[in-house]
A and B are shown apart, each in its own frame.
Chain A
Amino acid sequence: MSETSKPEEKPYGVSIRGYISVLLIGAYLGILFVKSEVASWQRIHDMFLFREAHMYLIISLAIIVAMISMLVIKRLGVRSVDGKPITYKPKPYHTGVIIGGMLFGAGWAITGACPGPVYAQVGAGEWMALFTLGGAMLGMFGYAALKPRLPH
């Protein structure tokens, strides 16, 4: 199977409390994207030019912290607040991981933003980022249209 964002095995919506948590975690992340300057074009450009380690350090440390968190969650059998077991659904390998990955990387380098920081830029009032967001929606529709014909 190639679809990565199809319904989860037991699809369920999110409770009102869950949506409030999502909103707050989103705001937490939005603040971080601005204050870490991950949402600044120059930081991304300097990352790809190997001018500074800032972005590499942030991404690596975020991965390490997330990895330790997942180990602790699995070791202690931590459940979500609504009592469900926490399971990661692996994203599968297919050709798109390589081709799509490269295309996204190119877009990341041009715009200086990955999807999260695009929302952060728009929210912060950087209206030019609406071009990035509009382009991303067009790209998503483009993929939706071409998906049956692309190798997966």
Chain B
Amino acid sequence: MDWIIQPWPWWISGILIGLTVPLLFILVGKSFGISTSLQQAGAMCAPNSKLEYLSKHDRRANLWTIVFAIGIAAGAFIATRFLSNEPVEFLPESFKTPRGGIKLLIGGFLIGFGTRYAGGCTSGHSITGISNLNWPSLVATIFFFVGGLAVTWGLGHLIF
């Protein structure tokens, strides 16, 4: 059982993450995508907002995205508490400072704004979109990497 405690190899992870797409389609009839949960949370917080993006959002059809997010958090809790020996490091120590918090807040803002403007993230565009041969999703994925590489290579010395 030692292999469970270790980090899992890329091929097990890749296969099992890919299977999320048919699992959600077959068991729930929904298309795999995570960032819609942000819009759903916003629409639930402000159902009578003047902003159509929130008030016209179908909260009933998308409520599952919040349940999905809770499930992800619960799974991560199980994996760190019961399926790992050593403490799992998610963020480096350098982020656990006020300055780190500001960096995460700004980066988080870009995630929320960017995924909603692009209409999806790594799950909805890169995995579900490309696997369904949806070309805009391929374009989106290319630009995810354009943005990420530009920041890492161009501003990396300032940020990290």
Q: How many chain B residues have a CB neighbour from A under 8 Å? A: 125
- B32-56: which residues lie under 8 A (CB-CB) from chain A? 32, 34-39, 41-42, 49, 51-54, 56
Expressed in whole angstroms, the Cα–Cα distance for A13 and B63 within the complex equals 8
Closest to B143 in A: A101
List of B residues within 8 angstroms of A40 by Cβ: 88-90
Asked whether B90 lies within 8 Å of A121 as measured between CB atoms, the reply is yes
Give the CA-CA distance A142 to B39 in the complex, in Å. Answer: 11
Q: Could you pull out 13 A-B pairs where Cβ atoms are within 8 angstroms? A: A26-B71, A30-B77, A35-B83, A63-B131, A66-B131, A69-B18, A80-B27, A103-B113, A107-B109, A114-B115, A120-B73, A126-B91, A144-B39
Tell me if A91 and B120 are in contact (CB < 8 A): yes
Q: Are A106 and B110 in contact (CB under 8 A)?
A: yes
**Other A-B pairs beyond A33-B76, A105-B145, 12, CB < 8 Å:** A2-B119, A8-B61, A13-B63, A22-B64, A26-B75, A35-B13, A64-B131, A65-B15, A110-B159, A121-B91, A128-B101, A135-B109
B101 and A131 within 8 A (CB): yes
Closest 8 CB pairs of A and B: A26-B71, A135-B108, A30-B75, A139-B112, A105-B147, A123-B73, A61-B14, A100-B117
A49 contact set on B, CB distance < 8 A: 152-153
| Distance in Å: Cβ of A87 to nearest Cβ of chain B | 9
Known: A26-B69, A97-B139, A140-B42. A31 touches B54 (CB 8 A): no
| Partner pick for B88 among A109, A112, A124, A139, CB 8 A cutoff | A124
Do B148 and A105 have beta carbons less than 8 Å apart? Answer: yes
Q: Check A48–B149 contact: CB distance below 8 A.
A: yes
- By a CB distance below 8 angstroms, the chain A residues around B102 are 131
In the complex, A6 Cα to B133 Cα: how many Å? Answer: 21
- The interface residues of chain A lying within 8 Å CB-to-CB of B103 are 110-111
Q: Closest CB-CB distance, A85 to chain B, in whole Å?
A: 9
- From the candidates B62, B71, B88, B147, name the one contacting A24 in the complex (CB within 8 A): B71
Mark interface residues in B116-160 (1 if CB within 8 Å of A CB, else 0): 111111111111111111111101111111111111110000011
Complex CA–CA separation, A79 to B57 (angstroms): 26
